[in-house]
Amino acid sequence: MKSLIQKLVEIPGPSGYESQVREAVKDEVEPYVDEMQVDPLGNLITRKGSGGDKGLKVMLSAHLDEIGVMVSHVDKNGFARFTQLGTVFPRNTAGGRVRFLNGAHGVIGMEVPPSRSAVTTLNKMYIDLGVTSKKDCPVKVGDVAAFERTFQDLGKRMVSKAMDDRIGVAVLIETLKALKSTPHQVFGVFSVQEEVGVRGATTAAFGVNPDLGLAIDTTGVGDTPKSPRSDLALGKGPAIKIKDFGMISDPRVVAWIEAGAKRAKIPYQLDILIGGSTDARAIQLSRAGVPSSGISIPSRYIHSPSEMVDFDDVKNTIKLLVHLLSRPIKLQ
């Protein structure tokens, strides 16, 4: 499974430009699903199981896209100015490297700030592609790049760019593989444009029209020196979403997940995320409303080129999902 994770995180796929990741996912899931289609925005929507009298339409959403950059101007000396696709933190950016979808490579530099303590903005940063003129620059306005950082296996923990949310994508793929039978119609949705405002999940949820929705994403933790206040930690199990900045989970869905985790003796944590949101927000607000929550893989250093997750958490998330989806669902 680690090789699948490595393959997925190393493919570039910034928001709006997910097609390479989508192709890789198609290859993985095709033998394990009953139906597969791509909607007008580029969401890959798969279905497994036909449901019965008591089965539900369950939508699981993991997003294909990652944060990235787009060139906004190439100056006369060949430096490329850029804007963000998704939230890119300037503090995580200088000195980093990017790889363009056309294969070009560059390093991110910044104008010298007025003082050492000054915080810079992306407008004061640029990509240096090793050229000296606009004419020789291998990229132009509109070209898109992802951050470049290889996967590293630290044993129990793994580090890479784009763990947000390729680890969710990997979890969803493995869940569809491991799910031998289900009384439900399970819609595994690999969504686009999450990082720019849960856009793909908005249209996918309309198309699927589910009875129940879950986002499979990463969430921040509070287990590092002077980290933000949070009870979450790596290695303590999947995080069940209670609320985040964009949604409040349906308590019945939370209770259903919690009961499943207890029954299957899978460790879990409760997730109250202060900033950010997930595809669950889009699903919840679709059409006449959908009971929704999320199951998240705890992660350190989110939206940096080195996002860290725990392998036990990953395996437990898959176990929990398979357990939940193998049996009837009664929300109460």
Partner 1 sequence: MSITKKKSWNPPKIGRAQISSLEKLSEASGVSGNEDAVRKIVIDEIKAYADEYEIDALGNVLVTKRGSKKNLPRVMLAAHMDEVGFMLVHDEGEGLFRFDIVGGIDRRQIISKPVWVGKKRIPGVIAGKPIHLTTPKERSNVISVDTMRIDLGPGNSKKGKSGDWATFATKFMRQGQTLRGKALDDRVGVASLIELLKNAPPNIHLLAAFTVQEEVGLRGAKVAGYAINPDMAIVLECTPALDMPTWDGSENTLYRTKLNQGPAIYIADRATLPDPRLVRLLQETAEAYDIPYQLRQPGVVGGTDAGAIHLQRSGIPSISISVPARYLHTPASLIRLADWRNTLALVHTALSHITPNTLKGERQ
Residues annotated catalytic, as ranges: 194
Cβ-based nearer residue to partner 1, 99 or 124: 124
> Judged by CB, which is closer to partner 1: 158, or 189?
189
Minimum distance of partner 1 from residue 24's CB (angstroms): 13
Instruction: Give the integer Cα–Cα distance in Å for 59 and 325.
Output: 11
Q: How far is the CB of 221 from partner 1 (least distance, A)?
A: 27
Residue 42 Cβ vs partner 1, minimum distance, rounded to whole Å: 4
Amino acid letter, 119: V
Would you say 42 or 291 has its CB closer to partner 1? 42
In the complex, minimum distance from the CB of residue 79 to partner 1, in angstroms, rounded to a whole number: 9
Please, which residue, 61 or 193, has the CB nearer to partner 1?
193
- Interface ranges with partner 1 (CB under 8 A): 15-17, 19, 22, 38-43, 70-73, 75-76, 81, 83-85, 123, 141-142, 192-193, 196, 199-200, 202-204, 206-207
Q: Phi first, then psi: what are they for 275, rounded to 5°? A: -110, 155
Q: With respect to partner 1, which residue has the nearer C-beta, 71 or 176?
A: 71
Instruction: Name the residue among 11, 28, 323 with its Cα closest to residue 165.
Output: 11
In whole angstroms, the minimum distance from the beta carbon of 204 to partner 1 comes to 8
Q: What share of the chain is helix, strand, coil (3-state, %, to 5)?
A: 25, 30, 45
Which secondary-structure segment (H or E) carries 80?
A: strand 80-85
| Residue 54, Cβ density class (10 Å: 0-12 exposed, 13-18 middle, ≥19 buried) | exposed
Rounded Cα gap, residues 161 and 10, in angstroms: 8
Nearest Cα neighbor of 241 from 161, 320, 184 is 320
Of 134, 21, 136, 6, nearest in space to 68 by CA: 21
